[in-house]
Structures are given as C-alpha cells and as structure tokens.
Amino acid sequence: MPHSKMQLPGGCGALATPVARRPVSAMRALLVDDDKFMLTVLADLLGDLGVHGVTTATSGAEATIAFDRLLPPPDVILCDLKMPGGDGFQFMEVLASRKYAGGVVLVSGMEARVMNSASLMARFHRLNVLALLNKPVSAPALAAALAQLL
C-alpha cells in the first residue's frame, strides 16, 4: 500500500527525559502489536518517514525479550494496549523497571478513557509518552509524535 513521503520538522520542543537527539534516519523503533498487519502498516509508515531501524514484537512478553536484546535501547516504542501474552500495560511497567528514557507512543483502538488511563500510568512511571494514537494510525499524527524526539 503506497504512502506519501513526509518530512519531519526539527526542533519541536524540549524533552523532559535525557534522550540523545539524532536524525530520523538514525532512529530505532520497537513496534508492539498482536496484529501482524498492523505491524506491517506501522513499519511502512515509519519507513516512509525515514525510520528504517524497526524491530517488531507480537506481545508484551515478546517485546520484553526484544527490548532487552536491543543495545542501545530503541529511540521510540509504539505499543498497542490490548494483546494476549502480556499487554501494553504490563510492558509499560517493564519499561519503567528498566528506566527507559526514549519515547513511547501508545497505539490502540480502545476508547479514549482507557487510552488516557494508560497514559497516566505510563507518566506516573516516568515514561516519556509522546502521543496517544487511535488505530488506524495516520502518517501526520505519527510524524508529529516522532518530531518531539528531533
């Protein structure tokens, strides 16, 4: 499925967490979703935005293993909330225990109330939540989230 190419704007505000700023082409991402089609769509969107260092996982448990193997840690994690085998809420707790300082984008088809609760929990654990994105994710919304890391 074709996507239009987009340029990310630079310098869109300061981060509260110590993340090294790097060009989008050098960014590394971890995608976590139990839907393989959604993983493909997100990876394609990221590729169109210039992010080519993408690792995928289909559950929170698989994401934990992938996260622990990625050195350095990914710059950004896009995570679904509702998954079998370890959901996004549990994975956020893992990230907090690892003191993850990169960006987190919560991606879900769940209602706003649940998304906001997940965001509050992640922020309580001092995770850098960049955005709450509803499925299907749009390229402009994803670009705006990533721009916060530039």
For the stretch 109-136, pLDDT in tens is 999 999 999 999 999 999 999 999 999 9
| Residue 11, pLDDT above cutoff 90 | no
Q: Check whether the bond before 72 is cis (ω within 30° of 0).
A: yes
Q: pLDDT grade, residue 33 (50/70/90)? A: very high
Residue extents of the structural domains in the chain: 25-147
Tokens of residue 54, six digits: 């993408």
pLDDT of residue 86: 76
Reported as a single tens digit per residue, the pLDDT across 39-78 is: 999 999 999 999 989 999 999 999 999 999 999 999 999 9
CA 100 to CA 126: how far, in whole Å? 9
What is the pLDDT at residue 14?
33
CA angle 85, 91, 97 (to 5 degrees): 135
Question: 25 pLDDT band (50/70/90 cuts)?
Answer: confident
Topology of the domain comprising 25-147: Rossmann fold (3.40.50)
Q: Which residues, 6+ apart, have CB-to-CB distance to 98 below 8 Å? A: 67, 68, 73
Which pTM value belongs to this model?
0.83
